[in-house]
Amino acid sequence: CVRLCPALWSRLPQPPSSLAELPPSEFLQVADSTWLVLSVVSNGREPPGCQATGVTKIARSVIAPLAEHHVSVLMLSTYQTDFILVRERDLPVVIHTLAGEFDIYKEEGGECVPVTSDDVSNGFLKPKPSASPMLHPVQSPQTRFCVLTVAPDTLPAIATMLIDVLFYSHSPPWDAAAGSQDLDSITFFSFSLIEGYISIVMDAETQKRFPSDLLLTSSTGELWRMVRIGGQPLGFDECGIVAQIAEPLAAADISAYYISTFNFDHALVPEEGITEVIQLLQQRQESGR
């Protein structure tokens, strides 16, 4: 129900300069691939009645086709937009898969240059037939989350609090539940800075520690619940993880804010819809067995 055009990808340096500044350490794990950022931009207004936003907005047109072609993705929603990371070696498959529906551009010297399938035809391999992607278990903690942004010029006013929450502050109930199977609550805090835009995801209790006039959210101030995908750390070679969540939610026109991490994937959905979401995902789990 959403017309998305064009798609924009830009290359990440190898190795990223910020990573190169870190000293080698046995405690630092790095995925063995260079990843590219795929940004899908809407061209035109959404049809009336189409309310789905976030990852579900591009489920049918981008995420599902990439999963069908066995492309592994990392998904990152931000307050402003959504980004899909694909491995550089998968770029020919990605472009051949999406070129039929999208205008595709690459970033060169700050300018967007059109890309065609012919530009990356060398090395393109048709996907091998394989079994359907594995459906991972999903868990939904009781924690309520907020999706926020902050103006860059006000960041210094909360910098000390951010550092404390990110690295030092832990609530005892969270620590006690960290190893539990049912995840009654979960420790989760996400901070992203992309092209000067800041996005923050934090639980509602942690939000109370920050000055309310500096953290910006939607006018409705909705709260979100989380669905965590994976009973154990996920592999980077596996595909269809994002599609497992995005496709059924897109069909039900339910918004989702999606964050892939090194070990697990997390989908945030509006709190009032969490019961329906769990039912939909359980039905998909049962049908996939």
- Give the separation between CA 268 and CA 140, rounded to whole angstroms: 10
- Tell how strand 82-87 and strand 104-108 pair up: unpaired
> Is the Cβ–Cβ distance between 192 and 75 less than 8 Å?
no
What integer pLDDT is reported at residue 224 of this predicted model? 95
For the record, the structure tokens of 46 come out as 């959404």
Tens of pLDDT, residue by residue, the chain (289 residues): 223 334 444 444 444 555 566 677 777 777 767 888 888 765 544 444 444 578 888 898 899 999 999 999 999 999 988 889 898 888 888 888 888 888 888 877 777 788 776 655 444 455 554 556 678 888 899 999 999 999 989 999 999 999 999 888 765 444 444 444 456 778 899 999 988 899 999 999 999 999 988 998 876 778 999 999 887 888 788 889 999 999 999 999 999 999 998 888 999 999 999 999 999 988 887 776 5
CA distance 284 to 110: 43
Domains in the chain: ranges and CATH: 2-11+30-119 (3.30.70), 138-169+183-236+245-288 (3.30.2130.10)
Please state, as a whole number, how many other Cβ atoms lie within 10 Å of the Cβ of residue 29: 8
Contact of 183 with 228, CB cutoff 8 Å: yes
Tokens of 241: 């993880």
Where would I find the H helices in 120-167? 155-163
**H/E element, 249:** helix 241-251
Residue 79, CA distances (Å) to 131, 187, 199, 213 in order:
35, 20, 5, 17
The pLDDT value given to residue 217: 86
At residue 202, the 3 state secondary structure works out as strand
- How many CA within 13 A on the CB side of residue 121? 4
* Torsions phi, psi for 268 (to 5 deg): -100, 130
pLDDT at 196: 87
- What is the structure's pLDDT at 178? 43
Q: What is the pTM of this model?
A: 0.80
The position carrying tokens 């404390």 is: 164
